[in-house]
Amino acid sequence: PALLRECALPSARTLRFCAPSRDIPLRVMLLGDSGVGKTCFLIQFKDGAFLSGTFIATVGIDFRNKVVTVDGMRVKLQIWDTAGQERFRSVTHAYYRDAQALLLLYDITNKASFDNIRAWLTEIHECAQRDVVIMLLGNKADVSSERVISSDDGETLAREYGVPFMETSAKTGMNVELAFLAIAKELKYRAGRQADEPTFQLRDYVESQKKRPSCCSFV
Ligand SMILES: Nc1nc2c(ncn2[C@@H]2O[C@H](COP(=O)(O)OP(=O)(O)OP(=O)(O)O)[C@@H](O)[C@H]2O)c(=O)[nH]1
């Protein structure tokens, strides 16, 4: 029973003991200030749609599943969409420990959401698993006319914390799928590399695969 429980909510360490025929379950959390686009990011990935119009803030936490195929293996992503509002912080804190990967978003048109990334990273280091995979995402890259944070600023911050970085758009879908696939690849790789499989570097992979906004990535 203990093993079964671990397979239902595995850590990277326990993944290798799960039955090979089952989908590998991985838990990913979306974090960042309210309004940066976490829910839209998830909907774009799950359904290929963009929720425009009235902004309805997430209350507490919500989740969706999506199965992706990574190097011929089925990976079941369980994606937790958290509320960015401060008043729900204690609810979301309770879930950090179970996450194997965190996508941390800011909004390239909102300076405060970028400035708060340091506080988010401090919180992550206090509450999450030590080996959690983190990726920094500058969302709303489609809104180039309102950009206040340059790509270089995002890159510099990401480098300082040693995490991969991409700009994304939940509206156009730019780099949305890549963010999840890259994480799934990293976690699958950690779970047990095949003898003939080349080593995998998440940052190099993201750098080689990511699309850059077609213009105006500077401020
Ligand atoms: N142009 C553009 N608008 C976006 C993008 N992502 C989200 N939005 C808009 O930003 C607003 C907030 O998006 P949400 O996804 O609800 O934000 P959230 O981060 O989930 O907010 P909380 O639930 O409060 O934490 C909505 O009006 C969206 O339509 C994007 O990539 N581009």
pLDDT (tens digit per residue) in 16-69: 444 445 777 899 999 999 999 999 999 999 999 997 777 888 888 899 999 999
Query: How confident is residue 190, by pLDDT bands cut at 50, 70 and 90?
Result: confident
pTM score, whole prediction: 0.88
Which protein residue has the closest C-alpha to ligand 1 atom 15?
37
d(CA 205, CA 9): 27
Span from the CA of 99 to the centroid of ligand 1 (angstroms): 22
> From the CA of 38, how far away is ligand 1's center (Å)?
6
Helix, strand, coil share (%) of the chain residues, nearest 5? 40, 20, 40
Q: Which helix (H) or strand (E) holds 13?
A: helix 12-15
Please determine, for the modelled complex, whether the ipTM score is greater than 0.95.
yes
Indicate whether residue 147 lines ligand 1 (CB < 6 A).
no
Whole-number Å distance between alpha carbons of 171 and 194: 37
Q: Which residue has the tokens 């300082």?
A: 160
State pLDDT tens for residues 116-151: 999 999 999 999 999 999 999 999 999 999 999 999
> Do 84 and 36 meet the contact criterion of CB atoms below 8 Å apart?
yes
- CB of 38 closer than 6 A to ligand 1? yes
For the chain, list the strands marked E by DSSP. Answer: 24-31, 61-70, 73-82, 101-107, 133-139, 165-167
pLDDT in the model for residue 215: 61
Q: 30 with 206: CB under 8 angstroms?
A: no
pLDDT at res. 112? 98
> Which residues touch 163 (CB under 8 Å, ≥6 apart)?
104, 134, 135, 136, 203
pLDDT at 111 over 80: yes
Contact (Cβ atoms closer than 8 angstroms) between residue 90 and residue 23: no
Q: Where are the domains of the chain?
A: 25-191
Mutate to test the pocket of ligand 1, among 30, 42, 46, 55 (most ligand atoms within 8 A of CB): 55
In CATH, the architecture of 25-191 is 3-Layer(aba) Sandwich (3.40)
Q: Is the CB of 170 under 6 A from ligand 1?
A: yes
Q: Is the CB of 57 under 6 A from ligand 1?
A: yes
For residue 74, give the 3-state DSSP assignment: strand
Residue 58 in contact with ligand 1 by CB distance below 6 A: yes
Cα–ligand 1 centroid distance for 219 (angstroms)? 21
